[in-house]
Each structure stands twice: as C-alpha cells, then as structure tokens.
Amino acid sequence: MPRPRRVALPSVPLHIIQRGNNRTPCFASRNDYLAYLDMLRECAFDCACALHAYVLMTNHVHLLLSPGEHDSASMMMQRLGRRYVRYFNRRHGRTGTLWEGRFRSSLVQDERYLMICHRYIELNPIRARMANTPSDYPWSSHLANAFGQQDSLLTPHSIYTRLGSDAVTRQRAYRDLFNETLSDEALDQVRQAGNGNRPLGGGPTEPLFRN
C-alpha cells in the first residue's frame, strides 16, 4: 500500500523522523553528531526552516520545525541528507545509502500537541534507556529549551514563548512539563501520525498525561 501523501504548510509545525537504513547507526562518533548539527544549522537557515526541538539518536533523528514555505522542509531534508551521507561515507570508508528512504513527517495541527511533540522528542533517550534524564543526553534540544543553554539551531515557537513572560520563567515552566509522564495514548498518537505521514491533532479531548 502506498504511503499517504506528505502534507506541509507554511509556518505550521512538522514532526520529522528520519531513520537509518535497516535501523543501522547513522552516527558512529562524537564528530558525526557535531557534523550533522552543523549541517542542520546551515540547511535550516538556507531553506527557511525554524527548528524548535530535536534529538539525534544512534540510528534515527527527530526534528520539530516550522517551514517557511510548503516545500521548505523537503528541500532542507534533501540537502541535509545528501551532505551528511557524503560526509559519513567518506569518514567511515563506506559506500551506498545511509537513510531508510524518504523521511516521514506529521503536521502538528493542534496547538496542544506542540508541547507533547517537544516532550516526545526530548524524552527519546529516556525511553531508549540511553540516559536517566533528558538533561543527561547531549544530542538534543533539551538543555536549551529547559535550561537556557545557548543553541544557535533553535528558534522558539510562539507557544513555547507563552510559557512565561521571561526566559527564566519559561524554562522553569518547560521543565515542569517533564514532571508528568506522557500517556500511552499520547505516545501512540505521535508514533502513528509520524509513521503514517498523517496530521497530529484533532483527536480525543481527554487528558493525554498520567501522573
């Protein structure tokens, strides 16, 4: 069955997932992570994409961004993917593909899901048992969003900035969001939307958190 057509709208956030081919690692060293982030910064700027959250896992990547134009995200991912594959193959003496086909994405069409996506992305290392807390993992946006660490990749979304009237208040409110566990329902909705290239939002209205 063909994959549903990917939807992107200017200024509407997208949750993007890109996996390594056959789930093989896409990062083999600290330099690989740093190279990818440098390329991501340049490609996002060149293609008018505002990045709000990210995590680089061993064999896949999650990004939350707002594209400036309907094709901005696709252009960014194409440029980024090609550049990084050339770098990775040259550095590690390999040839061939690195990524699992086209990236997957879901339109975040409901405001309440934006912070859910933030948390889903930055909690990936915890679910994978790669860190005890989000702040322990160096290859994500959490230290910037939650503690104000300088990160030139990021452009805060207006929903994030409404968490508080100043940076300290916003960061405290953001950290507080991580005191609640994402419900199984919320996790399933984010996963299904991303894997199926379907919009995220407009679902049930019951709480998507559990204590």
Task: Give pLDDT tens digits for 150-196.
Answer: 999 999 999 999 999 999 999 999 999 999 889 899 999 999 988 88
Strand ranges for the chain from DSSP E: 14-19, 49-56, 60-67, 104-107, 181-182, 209-210
User: CA–CA distance from 112 to each of 173, 181, 182, 204 (Å)?
Assistant: 15, 15, 13, 12
pLDDT at site 17: 96
pLDDT in tens, 56-95: 999 999 999 999 999 999 999 999 999 999 999 999 999 9
Residue 202 has pLDDT above 90, yes or no: no
pLDDT at site 34: 98
pLDDT at site 5: 56
Token pair, residue 129, equals 């048992």
Residue 3 has pLDDT above 60, yes or no: no
pLDDT at site 7: 67
List all residues 6 or more positions away from 42 whose beta carbon is below 8 Å from its beta carbon: none
pLDDT in tens, 20-51: 999 899 999 999 999 999 999 999 999 999 99
> Of 3.30.110.70, 3.60.110.10, 3.30.479.10, 3.30.70.1290, which CATH number belongs to 14-198?
3.30.70.1290
Residue 49: count of CB within 10 angstroms of its CB: 25
Residue 211 has pLDDT above 80, yes or no: no
- Segment 16-23 shows an average pLDDT of 94
SS3 call for 67: strand
The structure's pTM equals: 0.91
pLDDT in tens, 86-138: 999 999 999 999 999 889 999 998 788 999 999 999 999 999 999 999 999 99
pLDDT at site 101: 85
Read off the pLDDT band of 199 (50, 70, 90): confident
Residue 204 has pLDDT above 60, yes or no: no
Residue 2 has pLDDT above 60, yes or no: no
User: CA–CA distance from 62 to each of 51, 123, 176, 198, 207 (Å)?
Assistant: 11, 11, 22, 16, 24
